[in-house]
Structure 1
Amino acid sequence: MQYRSIIRIIGLLVMLFSLTMVPPALIAVIYKDGEGSTFMQALVISLVIGLIAWYPNRHTKEELKAREGFLIVVLFWTVLGSIGAIPFLLSSQPALSVSDAFFEAFSALTTTGATVMTGLDHLPKAILFYRHLLQWLGGMGIIVLAVAVLPMLGIGGMQLYRCETPGPVKDAKMTPRIAETAKALWYIYLTLTLCCAGAYWAAGMNVFDAVGHAFSTVSIGGFSSYDASMGQFDSQLINTICVVFLLIAGVNFSLHFGAFTRRGLNLKNYWRDAEVRVFLLFQLILTLLCFLVLLNRDIYDSPEATFDYALFQAVSISTTAGFGTGSFSEWPLFLPVLLILSSFVGGCAGSTGGGMKVVRFILLLKQGGRELKRLVHPRAMYSIRLNNKAVPDRVIDAVWGFFAAYAAVFALCLVVLLATGMDDISAFSATAACLNNLGPGLGQVASHYGDIHDVSKWVLILAMLFGRLEIFTLLVLFTPAFWKS
């Protein structure tokens, strides 16, 4: 294990990450909210930490292998999540404990969207913007940005990219050079963000809210600048814009890449993909189910308003964004529970969404169907096909292993939360919300996580990391074989 090279890379990443303190500091100056010194102090502290890690190892440049790549990815998220907590620790408004500061930072960076803060409407603009910025950076994975930048510093990135990119098709490259792939992804990501911000602004948001909520929408993070979340704006147009961009961000970004680079925009590429078709069908079924139940209960004044709330909440929760409206608590309990369960499916592989990913559920269902056929015809040979291509049994085995590990981590976190005294519905929804990188839960964690036990917060931080790193990237570090030379 090349520990000195790993420490050198982490030091460089921390120094790069320290630059994220600059935009909030500028916001503090513009809005005169008094938090400028907080972010400048955080900038200096993070720069010093990065320098201490990098300088003694600056001449170490051993070749990285896949094992080092896994360790760097895990350290990347844990270290940067910890560095990201520094402004929350230094800020006097809000005054957060150590557990709360780390919870907020990891929730933002992993795009979970769970918060311990209340009174968001009255917090300093710099703090609110910083939360949005962390989500935006975490949405595509800061590691991908680093892969695009660090080659200029003499560090290769293929090992990191393979560990970071989610989904069973993670070994596929869209361009011959990994740096070019990462840059292309970020160009698409930035373009979507600008379009989303422009749409929000045209729909009536001010510039600050438009940019901040665009960051949280395209990253499928779900942080808002208001306690009422998107319900603050009370606008069907804004809700519709949010839904559109959540659906776009929930699609595999390699499809966006292909659609925009192969002789112009080609929407047929999306419909040809089985995962996208299932993803959109799933959203449609959830929306119609919510709409029919709400319409039957006469909760809203008109069918139009009912459909607006049903569409927004169904897409927001099932894509793991977690934006909310003020009316969500008035729904029959069956619907919120159903939507939280839908977050286990999440977005497509290679998207900014959380959950187990649509493609894995497709393969699980196909494998289940194959086993049923084998019971009827034991000697028959059946292959599982996706997009008209046979899926190797090795991939199916990996999906089943992932599903088993996901269920085991969920059960373990749930039991620990129950042991801390949390009630069953709160513990279940909190575990699901954090492991799926969703955010809001039910019961005690419906609006915020500030009142739960500190032990519960650290358990949920670990759940966020497991969800963001897709279980195995973090779980492999706990195996003895990983550490053997």
Structure 2
Amino acid sequence: MYWSSVLRIVGLLIVLFSVTMLPPALIAWLFNDAGLVPFLISFGLLLGLGITIWLPVKHCRRELRTREGFLVVVFFWLVLGLSGAVPLTLSESPNISITDAAFESMSGLTTTGATVLVGIEQLPESIRFYRQQLQWLGGMGIVVLAVAILPMLGIGGMQLYRAETPGPVKDSKLTPRIAETAKALWYIYATLTIVCALAYFLAGMNWFDAIGHSFSTVSIGGFSTYDDSIGHFDSPLIAMICVVFLLVSGINFAMHFIAWRTRSLKHYLRESEVRWFLAIMLTLTLVVITTLLLTQVYAHWSDTLYQGIFQAVSIGTTAGFTTDPFAQWPLFVPTLLIMAAFIGGCAMSTAGGIKVIRFMLLIKQGQREVIRLVHVQAQVPIKVGNRPVPERVVDAVWGFFSIYVALFALMMLVLMATGLDQTTAFSAVAANITNLGPGLGAVAENYSGIGDLAKWILMFAMLVGRLEVFTLLVLFSPAFWRE
């Protein structure tokens, strides 16, 4: 293991992350709130920590191997999650424990959107902005941003990119150079954020709320600057703008890159995963709306359409924005929405969940096994579109799914052992491992009422979901540490 290379990169990434304390400090100065000193202290502490780690190994120039790439990514997300808690811990408002600060930071960075805070609109503007900024940085993956910058410092980035990007196939690049790939993704990401902010502003939000909500919309994070989330604005227009950008952000960003390069939209519907994603969202929306109409939850059909469309897309894409307490909806609807989050969005999108491509492959593999029961000697390749999928990828998907389910069951049992009821434990693990956020039962509104041990378990679930199981669990394998 090339520890000097790992420490050098982690140190540089912490230095890079320290700079993200300056925008909230500027907001604190502009609004004259109490967040200025905590953010400046956090900047100094993180900058000093990063330099301290980097300085002894600054001359190391070894290229990263795959194992060091995994190690850097996991170390960085752990350190980043804890580092992000520093200004929240130092601030007098909110006055929260270290555990709660770490939970809020990790939830923001992993774009989970689960919160322990109550009275968000009464917090300093700098804190409210910082929460949204955490989600924006975590959305595309701050490591991908670092991949675009670190090559200028003599550090190759393919190993980081492979460990960071979501999806079962991680070796494809949009451009010949990995740094150019990362830059292309971030240009698209930043452009969507700007357009989303403008749309929110024109729909009636002020600039502060428009920018903050564009951060958490394009990242499919779910944090809001208000306790009532998108419901605070009581605007169907704002809700539908949110729906559009959630759907766009839930599509593979490679598709957006191709659309920009070819100046054409035809390839979207040619891509099987995109078609499945849109079909799943449409089916979920129709089921929710039909159930709400039959049970007469809302007096007017227009309210039913608005609420049904918004909540189905918000929960289905793992954003977790709310306009109404969906946990109180009748029959199977709340559980259906939570279950839909397990599928999530497309690979290489900012959505959580197991990803639509994996869901597709699981379904197709099941169909193949049924055919093999009838035709034992048949050779039945699994195809996505017209392209056969390598058996290695299919095996990896089954391995991912089995470990995902096992970890889910284990964490749910541990949460129940801490005293949580079955509904709360099930939905809390589901909402955090899928990076959704809101759950059912005691965690329907926020996570302030659960114990510290449960919060640390859920933070682990957030990381498992964000790094898609293998990137994190590979560190627990003895083979990983053998030379």
Q: TM-score range by the shorter chain?
A: over 0.9
- Is the aligned partner of 1:411 residue 2:421? no
Provide Cα deviations, 1:365-407, integer angstroms capped at 9, x if missing partner: 0000000001111111111110200111111111000000100
Q: Which residue of 2 aligns with 1:172?
A: 172
Q: Which residue of 1 aligns with 2:159?
A: 159
Write the letter of the residue equivalent to 1:2: Y
1:364 counterpart (362, 365, 376): 362
DSSP 3-state at the match of 2:155: coil
Write the letter of the residue equivalent to 1:206: N
For residue 4 of structure 1, report the CA deviation from its aligned partner: 1.2
1:434 counterpart (432, 435, 444): 432
DSSP 3-state at the match of 1:94: coil
DSSP 3-state at the match of 1:344: helix
Map 1:1-20 to 2 at 5 A.
1-20=1-20
Worse overlay, 54-63 or 473-482: 54-63
Q: Does the CA-based 8 Å contact 2:307-2:324 persist in structure 1?
A: no
Q: Which residue of 1 aligns with 2:309?
A: 311
DSSP 3-state at the match of 2:436: coil
Q: Does the CA-based 8 Å contact 2:169-2:393 persist in structure 1?
A: no
Map 1:39-438 to 2 at 5 A.
39-262=39-262, 264=263, 266-438=264-436
For residue 434 of structure 1, report the CA deviation from its aligned partner: 0.4
Give the Cα–Cα distance (whole angstroms) in 1 for the partners of residues 420 and 328 of structure 2.
23
Give the Cα–Cα distance (whole angstroms) in 2 for the partners of residues 200 and 3 of structure 1.
46
Write the letter of the residue equivalent to 2:384: L
Write the letter of the residue equivalent to 1:184: A
Give the Cα–Cα distance (whole angstroms) in 1 for the partners of residues 64 and 295 of structure 2.
59
For residue 179 of structure 1, report the CA deviation from its aligned partner: 0.6
Give the Cα–Cα distance (whole angstroms) in 1 for the partners of residues 327 and 188 of structure 2.
36
Q: Does the CA-based 8 Å contact 2:24-2:126 persist in structure 1?
A: yes
Give the Cα–Cα distance (whole angstroms) in 1 for the partners of residues 310 and 199 of structure 2.
16
Identity value in percent: 60
Give the Cα–Cα distance (whole angstroms) in 2 for the partners of residues 432 and 141 of structure 1.
21
Give the Cα–Cα distance (whole angstroms) in 2 for the partners of residues 279 and 78 of structure 1.
31
Give the Cα–Cα distance (whole angstroms) in 2 for the partners of residues 40 and 312 of structure 1.
38
For residue 333 of structure 1, report the CA deviation from its aligned partner: 4.7
Give the Cα–Cα distance (whole angstroms) in 2 for the partners of residues 328 and 384 of structure 1.
37
Moved over 4 A (4+): none
Q: Does the CA-based 8 Å contact 2:246-2:319 persist in structure 1?
A: yes
Write the letter of the residue equivalent to 1:418: M
Write the letter of the residue equivalent to 1:471: V
Q: Which residue of 1 aligns with 2:21?
A: 21
Q: Does the CA-based 8 Å contact 2:327-2:439 persist in structure 1?
A: no
Alignment gaps of 5+ in structure 2: none
TM-score, normalised to structure 2, is 0.99
Distance 1:333 1:36, change over 3 A: farther
TM-score, normalised to structure 1, is 0.99
Alignment gaps of 5+ in structure 1: none
For residue 442 of structure 1, report the CA deviation from its aligned partner: 0.5
Give the Cα–Cα distance (whole angstroms) in 2 for the partners of residues 391 and 60 of structure 1.
40
Worse overlay, 127-136 or 59-68: 59-68
Write the letter of the residue equivalent to 2:16: L
Question: How many equivalent residue pairs?
Answer: 483
Write the letter of the residue equivalent to 1:389: R
1:473 counterpart (467, 471, 474): 471
RMSD over aligned Cα, in angstroms?
0.8
Q: Does the CA-based 8 Å contact 2:114-2:438 persist in structure 1?
A: yes
Give the Cα–Cα distance (whole angstroms) in 1 for the partners of residues 48 and 452 of structure 2.
29
DSSP 3-state at the match of 1:113: coil
Give the Cα–Cα distance (whole angstroms) in 1 for the partners of residues 441 and 9 of structure 2.
42
Write the letter of the residue equivalent to 2:288: C
Q: Does the CA-based 8 Å contact 2:69-2:159 persist in structure 1?
A: yes
Write the letter of the residue equivalent to 2:353: G
Worse overlay, 460-469 or 159-168: 159-168
Provide Cα deviations, 1:130-166, integer angstroms capped at 9, x if missing partner: 0000000000000000000111111110111111111
DSSP 3-state at the match of 1:87: helix
